[in-house]
Amino acid sequence: MEFFSDVVATSLKIYALMTPPAVLSAFLGGTKHMDKKQKLTVATKTSCAIFVIGAVLYLFGPHIFSLFGFTLDAFRIGAGVLLFLTAVSLMNDNGSHTLSPEEGDISVVPLAIPLGMGPASIGAVMVMGATAVNADKVLTGIFSLFIAALGMFVLLVMAEPLARMLSRTGIAVLSKLTGLLLAAIAAQVIFTGVRAFLG
């Protein structure tokens, strides 16, 4: 039961880090010219790319720390700052983030990177991976990434009905709510890094 609750809590956190309103808005703008089959393909590729990128960074984050010689606490502070900047950009979002049809395949770039897995979410996932000290924690992280990516797939598949229901104003409100949540997460990450660094 504890494992299940950990997976749910971590999935929700990761999903928020993926800034769903920004991805949804960009997806709607970039797939206007596509039919349903093409939109499904883009949604599938985007969610798969998000999961693969997240899993690789989650599993090999500690090795990246060792390679570049920086500490986990320093990375926490840097990731927290980036996360806070992401929160600020979401607070300023008016729901009009669109992509032109001429941009070609948008599933990996920019939907998966840098919108779904941007600097802030990448940093947070790497920190989570570095603090996963046993097999249960590792499995929790992997399952959580999978569920979060699956949630992104469901969101993109339902993009058109959601857009009709929410309108641009509704998407903008969601962006601001997500921004507030990310700002709180950023403050906690920075505080943890600073406290450990000074202690």
CA atoms within 13 A on the CB side of 136: 6
pLDDT for 72 beyond 60: yes
Segment 11-23 mean pLDDT:
89
pLDDT band at 59 (very low <50, low <70, confident <90, very high): very high
pLDDT for 149 beyond 90: yes
Q: What secondary structure letter does DSSP report for 124?
A: H
Q: What secondary structure letter does DSSP report for 20?
A: H
Segment 19-41 mean pLDDT:
88
Closest CA to 90 of 187, 26, 156, 182: 182
Give the C-alpha separation, 158 to 15, whole Å.
16
Segment 71-82 mean pLDDT:
80
Between 33 and 97, the more confident residue is 33
Q: pLDDT value at position 118?
A: 79
Q: Where are the alpha helices (DSSP H) in 69-134?
A: 72-91, 119-130
Closest CA to 182 of 26, 13, 25: 13
Give the C-alpha separation, 189 to 73, whole Å.
9
Q: pLDDT value at position 133?
A: 82
pLDDT band at 67 (very low <50, low <70, confident <90, very high): confident
Closest CA to 153 of 33, 15, 58, 60: 15
Q: pLDDT value at position 95?
A: 56
Cα 112–Cα 113–Cα 114 angle in degrees, nearest 5 = 125
Q: pLDDT value at position 81?
A: 84
pLDDT for 47 beyond 90: yes
Task: Enter the tokens of residue 28.
Answer: 């709607």
Q: What mean pLDDT, rounded, does the chain reach?
A: 84
Between 78 and 49, the more confident residue is 49
- 83-122 pLDDT, tens digit per residue, is 788 778 777 766 555 555 445 578 988 889 878 987 778 8
Q: pLDDT value at position 71?
A: 78
Segment 38-64 mean pLDDT:
92
CA atoms within 13 A on the CB side of 68: 10
Q: In the chain, what are the domain boundaries? A: 2-198
Give the C-alpha separation, 155 to 187, whole Å.
27
pTM: 0.78
